[in-house]
């Protein structure tokens, strides 16, 4: 084919893919974490200052990853998402290509096939590709994040391979490279160490070859500043009620053990199965071609062997980092998946160079690619319709009422779609109150997968010094509602404390903030009945709460397990509130882990089951279990 025609096919293909991404961006539903960003933009104008404020608040008080700022950005005016996200998704291809081959793709059919393979293999290797690509929070935190990290590595890769344009670029490049490096460092906890190691090796090699440039140092410096900033961010210690502080890397490694770590590797490989099988089949087809032609397959070039091995080892390094990560969820397999794909295409480039099996590889990749495109477009088309209908219904519900919404027909999580986010009662309550000024949202059908809402609600009591009358105290920075979930009450309170005059009102200092549960079906044997506290805050002791979470023992029996450090020292008794009854129970020790005591829950009926732990003068809400 003539070069001009090849260029046209190349450009047309990329434009086609870009269009697919644009359609997907248009059809992206508002889902789960998106709602939190919508709340922010409900109260702020979209501007750089607002984004800065958002990022700053998050860094100190919530999710410090820069991906969350990107998420806020694309959850602003829709046009931002429609323009930026497809470009980032498209950028994955040349960047992965450059990492694998140490050069940019050229507008030829040969390189187009390699790009097709990269995209197809990515969709085959990464877990739930539709969710990682088209669910905004995952896209910005993982896809954008690792694309930025790889983009940082590309100039080093090109330079050290001798494919960089100028040998002495301006020292000014050091500044943007430093910014890029810092941004890459701020992207993800689990990819940072491998990225730092890779960039350090690049810099060391450049130094040894006397090719070290200011931009290289700048990029490395940025990364080495950004990652510790992310890892040690104040927000990490308060996010998820301090879960990250409790689960230190050593504790996690100990808890997981060899078994758990091996399980992470198996899980990654399990998710990559289709990709791995595709590779095996392609190699076997190619070998069959050689065999039929009576030829001996040529050896893989040394460069290709080394590149593929290094990429695989880097992917392995990221997986090893996950051994010590509090969450080793499937979405975190995106980064090692990209590197694995890089390694695979290096081998594939060699296979495609020979005629044997080439057609089979390309046709198969094209078919798999087309299947994914059709599946994604079709899924999001229908999901978007239902999402729009749901939002219209929520908007149409009178303020202060409970909205009843039907479940999504695609409520299950699949490789293409996250599923119905309103399965979480806390999210329903949040969206109802924060986004639509409703009292709550209920799903029209009782389903197995959706969390029932608790029947009680929370109230806040504020104590000031010098004292303020209760009504006056409640009127300071008034809250439209108190979330019925302790993690969210703390998030809400922390935000109010930092962004309003709640903590210091005209010289009156807030000295105690207490969240109590009312409306519980608790028949207190002590009279007068004791209050049920959920969270108690004072400036000196910060938050006090009982951290209890659902736990199933070895026999699969439901329990609530309490983190021993959060158990009140003066606790005298415990009660399970099951199916409208108050049942005194004993907290039991367990040898299954060393988190703390467990309390048996009797799942005699569907609904929310609550555990209370009581002191002589007050009780604490110590956890929930739902069915």
- Interacting residues toward other proteins by CB under 8 A: 266, 269-274, 276-277, 279-281, 284-285, 287-288, 291, 296-297, 299-300, 302, 305-306, 308-309, 312, 411, 414-415, 445-449, 552, 554-557, 579, 603-606, 627
DSSP β-bridge partners for residue 403: 441
CB of 555 to other proteins, least distance (A): 4
Long-range contacts of 171-175, Cβ-Cβ distance < 8 Å, separation of 24 or more: 171/214, 171/215, 173/213, 173/214, 173/215, 173/218, 174/214, 174/215, 174/217, 174/218, 174/219, 175/218
Hey, what are 465's tokens?
């010094």
Which one, 168 or 296, has the nearer CB to other proteins? 296
Instruction: Please report how close the Cβ of residue 484 comes to other proteins at its closest, in angstroms.
Output: 22
Q: Which is nearer to other proteins, 152 or 272 (CB)?
A: 272
Given the DSSP bridges, would you call strands 440-443 and 402-405 parallel, antiparallel or unpaired? parallel
For residues 148 and 494, what is the distance between their CA atoms, to the nearest angstrom?
Answer: 31
CB of 414 to other proteins, least distance (A): 6
Identity of the residue, 4 or 445, whose beta carbon is nearer to other proteins in the bound complex: 445
Judged by beta carbon, residue 88 or residue 126, the one nearer other proteins is 126
CB of 306: closest distance to other proteins in angstroms?
7
**Cβ closest to other proteins, residue 56 vs residue 557:** 557
Q: What is the DSSP letter of 141?
A: I
> Measured from the CB atom, is 130 or 597 closer to other proteins?
130
Shortest Cβ distance from residue 208 to other proteins (Å)?
19
Contact 446, 600 (CB under 8 A): no
Residue 124 bridge partners (DSSP): none
CA 307 to chain centre: 29
Which residue, 177 or 347, is less far from other proteins as judged by CB? 347
Q: What is the DSSP letter of 502?
A: S
Q: Which of 414, 517, 399 is nearest to 458 (CA)?
A: 517
Give the CA distances from residue 562 to residues 2, 226, 272, 424, 622, in Å, rounded to whole numbers and listed in that order.
Answer: 70, 35, 37, 22, 7
Question: Please, where are the H alpha helices in 354-441?
Answer: 358-396, 425-430
Q: How far apart are CA 168 and CA 213, in angstroms?
A: 7
Integer Cα distance of 396 and 390 in angstroms: 10
Both tokens of 85, joined, read 């996200």
CB atoms within 10 A of CB 592: 13
If the CB atoms of residues 42 and 557 are measured against other proteins, the closer one turns out to be 557
**CB 352, min distance to other proteins, A:** 18
**In the bound complex, what is the minimum distance in angstroms from residue 331's beta carbon to other proteins?**
17
C-beta of residue 90 within 8 angstroms of C-beta of residue 339: no
Q: Which is nearer to other proteins, 132 or 180 (CB)?
A: 132
Q: What angle do CA 71, 74, 76 make, to 5 degrees?
A: 110
Distances (CA, A) of 307 to 119, 280, 302, 313, 317: 19, 19, 9, 10, 15
Question: 534 by DSSP, 3-state: which?
Answer: strand
Is it true that the peptide bond before 466 is cis, omega within 30 degrees of 0? yes
Shortest CB 26 distance to other proteins, Å:
25
Q: Quick one: 380 or 545, whose CB is closer to other proteins?
A: 380
In contact, 592 and 611? CB cutoff 8 Å = no
Whichever of 297 and 326 has its CB closer to other proteins, that residue is: 297
Least distance (Å) between residue 601 CB and other proteins? 11
CB of 298 to other proteins, least distance (A): 12
For residue 277, the minimal CB distance to other proteins (Å) is: 6
Q: Strand pairing partners for 573?
A: 614
């Amino acid at each position: 084919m003539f070069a001009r025609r090849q260029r046209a096919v190349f450009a047309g293909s990329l434009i086609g893919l870009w269009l697919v991404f644009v359609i997907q961006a248009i059809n992206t539903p508002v889902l789960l974490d998106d709602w939190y960003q919508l709340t922010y933009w409900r109260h702020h104008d979209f501007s750089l200052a607002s984004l800065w404020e958002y990022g700053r608040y998050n860094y100190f008080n919530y999710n410090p990853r820069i991906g969350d700022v990107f998420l806020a950005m694309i959850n602003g005016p829709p046009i931002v998402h429609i323009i930026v996200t497809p470009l980032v998704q498209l950028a994955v291809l040349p960047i992965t290509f450059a990492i694998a081959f140490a050069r940019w793709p050229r507008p030829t059919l040969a390189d187009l096939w390699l790009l097709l393979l990269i995209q197809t293999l990515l969709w085959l290797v990464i877990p739930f590709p539709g969710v990682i690509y088209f669910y905004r929070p995952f896209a910005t935190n993982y896809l954008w994040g690792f694309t930025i990290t790889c983009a940082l590595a590309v100039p080093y890769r090109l330079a050290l391979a001798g494919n960089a344009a100028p040998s002495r670029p301006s020292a000014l490049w050091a500044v943007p490279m430093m910014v890029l490096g810092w941004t890459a460092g701020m992207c993800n906890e689990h990819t940072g160490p491998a990225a730092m190691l890779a960039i350090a090796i690049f810099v060391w090699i450049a130094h040894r070859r006397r090719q070290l440039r200011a931009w290289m140092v700048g990029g490395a410096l940025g990364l080495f500043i950004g990652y510790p900033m992310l890892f040690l961010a104040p927000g990490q210690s308060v996010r998820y009620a301090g879960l990250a502080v409790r689960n230190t890397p050593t504790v996690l490694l100990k808890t997981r053990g060899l078994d758990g770590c091996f399980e992470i590797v198996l899980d990654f490989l399990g998710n990559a199965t289709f990709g791995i099988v595709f590779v095996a089949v392609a190699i076997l087809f190619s070998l069959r071609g050689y065999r039929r032609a009576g030829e001996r397959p040529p050896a893989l070039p040394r460069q290709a062997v080394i590149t593929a091995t290094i990429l695989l080892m880097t992917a392995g390094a990221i997986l090893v980092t996950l051994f010590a990560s509090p969450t080793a969820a499937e979405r975190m397999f995106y980064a090692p998946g990209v590197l694995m794909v890089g390694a695979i295409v290096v081998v594939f480039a060699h296979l495609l160079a020979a005629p044997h099996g080439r057609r089979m590889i390309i046709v198969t990749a094209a078919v798999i690619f087309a299947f994914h495109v059709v599946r994604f477009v079709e899924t999001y088309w229908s999901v978007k319709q239902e999402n729009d209908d749901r939002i219209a219904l929520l908007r149409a519900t009178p303020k202060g009422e409970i909205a009843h919404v039907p479940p999504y027909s695609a409520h299950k999580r699949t490789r293409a779609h996250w599923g119905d986010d309103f399965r979480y009662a806390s999210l329903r309550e949040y969206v109802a109150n924060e986004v639509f000024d409703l009292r709550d949202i209920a799903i029209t059908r009782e389903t197995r997968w959706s969390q029932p809402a608790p029947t009680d609600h929370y109230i806040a009591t504020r104590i000031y010094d010098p004292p303020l009358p209760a009504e006056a105290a409640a009127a300071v920075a008034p809250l439209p509602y108190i979330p019925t979930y302790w993690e969210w009450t703390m998030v809400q309170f922390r935000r109010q404390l930092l962004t309003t005059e709640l903590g210091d009102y005209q010289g009156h200092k807030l000295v105690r903030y207490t969240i109590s549960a009312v409306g519980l079906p608790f028949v207190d044997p002590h009279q007068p009945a004791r209050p049920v506290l959920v969270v108690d805050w004072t400036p000196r002791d910060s938050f006090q709460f009982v951290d209890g979470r659902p736990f199933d023992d070895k026999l699969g029996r439901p329990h609530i397990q309490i983190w021993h450090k959060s158990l009140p020292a003066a606790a005298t008794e415990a009660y399970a509130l099951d199916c409208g009854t108050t049942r005194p129970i004993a907290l039991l020790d367990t040898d299954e882990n060393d988190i703390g005591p467990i309390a048996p829950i009797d799942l005699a009926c569907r609904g929310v089951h609550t555990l209370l732990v009581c002191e002589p003068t007050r009780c604490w809400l110590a956890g929930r279990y739902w069915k």
